[in-house]
A and B are shown apart, each in its own frame.
Chain A
């Protein structure tokens, strides 16, 4: 089985663009789809990206997802940062046993 590794925290200014990485420890990142969940303080997680790069309805197009085989990682990019984007972000995939695998989470600070 594999692990998904995220940076513990990132920070950026309002209006800027930030990318959060999610690196798969073994096996190809392209083998299983990657999702991204946003969790604001005191709230349950919500989906911002699924199937690597798909946005649920209601999620602004400032949020985008991608995968890169060269680095065996997925990325969540948020452009035009707003203070409301400040949250924890988790990447997630499934392993060969159909078990859910989450990254450790990244705390995004918009300052």
Chain B
């Protein structure tokens, strides 16, 4: 059974930093591209970042570029999101999401999410 378990969410002050982790199990983690997708309280979904299986290609949403860094450790079956210079508008549930490729690509498995609150 595919499982994605996020951790690291917390209350942090504006300008602060936080590192999110995602522990993957039930599949060959090193073979899949991964993403972070967030959802502000009561709002819609927003794609944040993408990383290929080998970390060779990385993309960021414009809203987080230069502040967030995605990375992975295939030996530990783990995905990370380092978040710096946090702002109130970064407050959201952050989901770890697997990418699968068919004719196109889509998000097939989502974690349960971890809540990041940016507030003084």
Contacts and interface: CB of A to CB of B under 8 A. Distances in A.
Interface string B42-63: 0011110010000000010100
A51 B44 contact: no
Interface in B84-112: 95, 102-108, 110-112
B104 A100 contact: no
B26 to A, nearest CB: 15
A102 B44 contact: yes
Interface in A35-57: 35, 37, 39, 44-47, 50-51, 54, 56
A99 B95 contact: no
B117 interface: no
Interface string A20-40: 000000000000110101010
Given A44-B95, A98-B50, A90 B103 contact: no
A44 B47 contact: no
A35 B106 contact: yes
A100 B95 CA distance: 14
B35 interface: yes
Contacts of A45: 45, 95, 107, 110
A69 interface: no
A103 B102 contact: no
Contact residues of B: prevailing secondary structure: strand
Contacts of A99: 47, 50, 59, 61
Given A33-B103, A33-B104, A47-B107, A100 B112 contact: no
Contacts of B95: 44-45
A10 to B, nearest CB: 15
Given A44-B95, A44-B112, A102-B45, A97 B106 contact: no
B107 A56 contact: no
A2 to B, nearest CB: 14
A56 B45 contact: no
Given A33-B105, A50-B108, A100-B50, 20 more contacts: A33-B104, A33-B106, A35-B107, A45-B45, A45-B95, A46-B110, A50-B106, A51-B102, A51-B103, A51-B104, A90-B44, A94-B105, A98-B59, A99-B50, A99-B61, A100-B35, A100-B37, A100-B61, A100-B107, A105-B45
